[in-house]
């Protein structure tokens, strides 16, 4: 068997989520509540990174959970739950952005959560000033760039998972991620001068 034929190893948490999805699809009410308990914090952080507003993020996540509870029976492959729920949140965030574009522009400095997650994964505890600079730089990125960084660093998804979540080819994800990183780097370099 070649390396291309291998199925990625699934982690216990992934298997448990799949089991909860199946139970939810079978109509067991406690299963969706357990999925909410397991995923809500990650989804809020992801949504906050996109919307930059806590109230909009909470509304988007709540709307996504309502849609998920209604439509979970349509999810054919329970293993795709993470990409599916993140896509729902992403769509609800886009809806909120269209409804509230002017308010989001007025509060440009609220994209702190995503920046903190990215910095926490890449920085040591001794560089708090750099963390603040990165959070501020992320706040100036566009919603699509914050979304791709949030999916990769905040939600911890790989290229293939992000491609599935966004419904685009893996190559597009790679180029968008590269562009977002390059823009973030350029902002930080301009500020360092």
Pick the more confident residue, 119 or 174: 174
Say if residues 116 and 131 touch (Cβ distance below 8 Å). Answer: yes
Q: Considering the chain, what percentage of its residues have pLDDT values greater than 70?
A: 79
User: Do 57 and 93 contact (CB within 8 A), yes or no?
Assistant: yes
> Per mean pLDDT, which of 9-23, 61-75, 145-159 is the most reliable?
61-75
The answer to whether the CB of 68 falls within 8 A of the CB of 92 is no
97-133 per-position pLDDT tens digit:
776 665 545 544 445 455 555 655 554 544 555 667 7
Q: Closest Cα partner for 165 from 192, 155, 175? A: 155
CA distances from 77 to 21, 25, 83 (A): 9, 11, 11
Rounded distance between C-alpha atoms, residue 187 and residue 190, angstroms: 5
Q: What is the pLDDT, as a whole number, of residue 76? A: 93
Q: Two tokens at 34?
A: 């357990």
Q: What's residue 108's pLDDT?
A: 45
Report domain 10-192's class. Answer: mainly alpha
The answer to whether residue 45 scores a pLDDT higher than 80 is yes
The string of pLDDT tens digits covering residues 17-41 is 999 999 999 998 899 999 999 999 9
**What pLDDT is recorded for position 146?**
86
pTM for the whole thing?
0.60
Which pLDDT band holds residue 78 (cuts at 50, 70, 90)? Answer: very high
Indicate the domain borders of the chain.
10-192
């Amino acid at each position: 068997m070649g390396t291309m034929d291998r199925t990625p190893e699934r982690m216990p948490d992934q298997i448990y989520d799949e089991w909860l999805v199946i139970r939810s699809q079978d109509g067991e009410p406690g299963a969706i509540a357990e999925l909410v308990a397991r995923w809500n914090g990650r989804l809020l952080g992801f949504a906050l990174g996109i919307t930059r507003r806590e109230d909009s993020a909470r509304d988007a996540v709540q709307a996504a959970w309502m849609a998920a509870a209604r439509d979970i029976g349509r999810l054919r492959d329970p293993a795709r739950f993470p990409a599916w729920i993140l896509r729902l949140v992403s769509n609800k965030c886009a809806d909120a952005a269209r409804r509230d574009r002017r308010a989001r522009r007025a509060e440009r400095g609220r994209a702190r959560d995503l920046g903190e997650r990215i910095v926490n994964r890449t920085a040591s505890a001794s560089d708090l000033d750099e963390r603040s600079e990165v959070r501020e730089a992320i706040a100036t990125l566009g919603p699509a760039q914050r979304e791709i960084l949030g999916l990769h660093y905040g939600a911890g998804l790989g290229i293939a998972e992000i491609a599935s979540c966004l419904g685009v080819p893996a190559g597009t994800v790679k180029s968008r991620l590269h562009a977002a990183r390059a823009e973030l780097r350029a902002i930080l370099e301009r500020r360092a001068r």
